Chain A
């Protein structure tokens, strides 16, 4: 027996898990079922999705450009004074939003836009949030997010945007950061994460 074997044997005799009884098969089954129903798989990067996203961006840019540059009508009803400054976010999360542990440092590194807001409406797959605070990025008063199928379901809290609830949302290049970086404002630790990051 070598010195290494001796040392290893001695350490093993102090293993706190040596007396740990194996988990019951039904407990393991329950745990796995809970895992597979709680966590929803993020979709693989899809080129069709990319094409659609690009088309949507072009459309938004075109409409936005038109709205900004069009001549103001000299007559007719005036524009509302407090017209919302709106930004749009895509539902599928950014490609770099891997489900590793959320940290304030990574949040700060990944996010290019972060805000607190309240859902004021959900219509045909689009969630509208009234912004109460912008942590990072350009100041806006309203954010619209696509809520499609399961792609938003890794949000902290219930997993989906719900009317009337407050959310903390971070995004990168227009895609929401999930996996513990966005969700209901009351989700444990999320507010602290934002306070620490920004």
Chain B
């Protein structure tokens, strides 16, 4: 592919990728990190344009964004550790929690799940991906994605049920976040 063709191809697909990856990142990190990682993701997409699939383009791009974000977060954690060492303070928590004022039960149920399960549910509900597409993002088999997603949904339902019917554990609900 000559340079002009590359540019044309990239310019044709990139706006959709930018929009989708912006949303993907806004759901998972702060605005400043999202901007940096979006730029990095585009750079990698541009460099790997020859590997870009004709179908399932967005899951492919999400997969790249996921790795770039993990890299940025590792770097942040390193910086946090350094700051903590210097200031003798605990580093801030790296977990991005779902903040929701309208559905506290769901937020709490999600917070009790394993991060891997939460991510599967986000990809399914927020990015609107099929198990096959989730498999592309996470680099696992479609079968594994399907099974894990099914289990994650079940775990979330269980957590929601427990929350709705706490039985003898009323004290647990008293400290519920607004």
In the complex, whether B47 has a CB less than 8 A from a CB of chain A is yes
Total interface residues on B, CB under 8 Å, equals 46
Contact B43 A35 (CB under 8 A): yes
B68 CB contacts on chain A under 8 angstroms:
101
Near A by CB (< 8 A), chain B positions 7-48 give: 7, 10-11, 14-15, 18-19, 22-24, 26-27, 38-39, 42-44, 46-48
Bound CA span A154–B48, Å: 13
Majority secondary structure, B binding face: helix
Contact B103 A31 (CB under 8 A): no
In the complex, whether A100 has a CB less than 8 A from a CB of chain B is yes
In the complex, whether A41 has a CB less than 8 A from a CB of chain B is yes
Question: Among B6, B7, B39, which residue has its beta carbon within 8 angstroms of that of A31?
Answer: B39
Question: Among A14, A39, A103, which residue has its beta carbon within 8 angstroms of that of B47?
Answer: A39
Bound CA span A28–B17, Å: 10
Contact B23 A14 (CB under 8 A): no
In the complex, whether B86 has a CB less than 8 A from a CB of chain A is no
Nearest residue, chain A, Cβ from B7: A36
Contact B98 A16 (CB under 8 A): yes
Nearest residue, chain B, Cβ from A4: B153
Contact A22 B48 (CB under 8 A): no
Question: Among B39, B50, B67, which residue has its beta carbon within 8 angstroms of that of A34?
Answer: B39
Contact B106 A11 (CB under 8 A): yes
A159 CB contacts on chain B under 8 angstroms:
none
* Distance of B135 from chain A, by nearest CB (Å): 18
Chain A 38-78 interface mask (CB, 8 Å, partner B; 1/0): 11011010000000000000000000000000000000000
Q: Which residues of A contact B (CB under 8 A)?
A: 3-4, 7-8, 10-17, 20, 22-23, 25, 28, 31-32, 34-36, 38-39, 41-42, 44, 98-103, 154, 179, 189, 192
Q: Which residues of B contact A (CB under 8 A)?
A: 3, 6-7, 10-11, 14-15, 18-19, 22-24, 26-27, 38-39, 42-44, 46-50, 67-68, 70-71, 74-75, 78, 98-100, 102-103, 106-107, 121-122, 124-126, 153, 156-157
